[in-house]
């Protein structure tokens, strides 16, 4: 099974630009750290919005790096906003980038639904090691990934529909698939749907994380205690970030909604639990090349056992070569 998005698709950029929680958090972080002497590197600049924020915050120079053809839209948007003198758009691979100077700040919105799942962090860490000045600032700074068992009524309704023989047709195979299918951007999962207190899976600090750590396996052994009697049928995952000194951003169920929503990992069937039931989860995130990763998970709830199939998470933007990196 695979979840795929593409940042060549302007509709995805539209969703991000319309996400005020996301955009304001990055803008606030940049305004907190950028000075008139700052040189800023924006990795995966997309339409250039974070580069524009950096320039508006007072940066003397911004390098906006974007591998996809969306870079041409960024150039036009930056020109239309009168910032071409301070923002240079570079279309090409980050790994091949050549800059005339080191930078004071690196900003990159590399986050997936639970933080590391788009596997773009290694590119950011490579850039940090090459281009960030000693004592320089990374945005976001630290990112934590969280998980909790929950009940997804939408999923249950969907499964019941497939199993109901609608129109007299056997659609069981679709119900079976629904009980195994990972879903991203699940905005309907709210705090009241969680069956247990969330547990921390891992923390990534963009200032200290090594390249090997960023491209390695992320693994979590978690044990939850159900808060009350009820049903569970998924694991829900999300992230929290901290940037600069005061700026936080999260797609947690109890936070203002963002374009990320929550990422949902099904349990194979609905399981009834009593208050105090122990739920053991083993979750593994394995990067597989730029923009690609696999997730797999197993769950133990008393006598119930579930082992997922591998689920591939990919951005879909790294199968074709891009232009060589050059100043434009």
Task: Give me the active site residues, please.
Answer: 109, 118
Residues linked to residue 43 through DSSP beta bridges, in sequence order: 65, 108
DSSP labels, 186-209: ETT--GGGBSB--EEEEEEETTT-
Taking the CA atoms of the chain, what radius of gyration do you get in angstroms? 21
C-alpha–C-alpha distance, residues 227 and 296, integer Å:
25
DSSP labels, 204-241: EETTT--HHHHTS-EEEEEEEEBSSSEEEEEEEEEEEE
Cis peptide before 235 (omega within 30 of 0): no
Alpha carbon separation from 158 to 5, 196, 214, 251 (Å, rounded): 23, 24, 36, 24
C-alpha–C-alpha distance, residues 26 and 42, integer Å:
11
In 3D space, the residue among 82, 1, 4 whose CA is nearest the CA of residue 318 turns out to be: 4
C-alpha–C-alpha distance, residues 237 and 261, integer Å:
9
Q: Coil, strand or helix: which one is 132?
A: strand
For residue 221, report the phi and psi dihedrals to the nearest 5 degrees: -105, 115
C-alpha–C-alpha distance, residues 310 and 316, integer Å:
18
């Amino acid at each position: 099974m695979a979840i795929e998005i593409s940042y060549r698709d302007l509709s995805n950029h539209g969703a991000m630009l319309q996400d005020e929680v996301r955009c304001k958090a990055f803008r606030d972080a940049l305004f907190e750290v950028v000075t008139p002497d700052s040189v800023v590197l924006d990795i995966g600049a997309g339409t250039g919005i974070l580069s524009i924020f950096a320039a508006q915050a007072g940066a003397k120079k911004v390098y906006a790096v974007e591998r996809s053809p969306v870079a041409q839209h960024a150039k036009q948007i930056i020109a239309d906003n009168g910032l071409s003198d301070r923002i240079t758009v570079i279309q090409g691979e980050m790994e091949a980038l050549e800059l005339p100077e080191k930078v004071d700040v690196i900003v990159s919105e590399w986050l997936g639904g639970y933080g590391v799942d788009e596997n773009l962090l290694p590119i950011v860490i490579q850039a940090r090691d090459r281009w960030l000045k000693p004592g320089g600032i990374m945005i976001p700074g630290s990112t934590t990934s969280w998980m909790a068992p929950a009940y997804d009524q939408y999923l249950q309704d969907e499964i019941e529909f497939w199993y109901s023989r609608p129109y007299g047709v056997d659609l069981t195979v679709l119900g079976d698939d629904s009980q195994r299918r990972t879903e991203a951007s699940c905005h309907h999962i709210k705090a009241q749907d969680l069956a247990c207190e969330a547990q921390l899976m891992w923390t990534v600090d963009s200032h200290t994380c090594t390249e090997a750590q960023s491209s390695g396996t992320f693994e979590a052994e978690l044990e939850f205690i159900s808060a009350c009697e009820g049903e569970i049928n998924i694991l829900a995952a999300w992230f929290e970030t901290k940037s600069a000194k005061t700026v936080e951003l999260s797609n947690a169920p109890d936070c203002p909604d963002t374009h990320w929503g929550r990422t949902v990992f099904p349990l194979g069937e609905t399981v009834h639990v009593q208050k105090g039931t122990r739920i053991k989860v083993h979750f593994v995130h394995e990067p597989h090349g730029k923009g690609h990763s696999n997730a797999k998970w197993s769950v133990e709830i008393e006598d119930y056992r579930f082992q997922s199939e591998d689920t591939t998470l990919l951005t879909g933007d790294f199968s074709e070569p891009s232009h060589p990196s050059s100043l434009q």
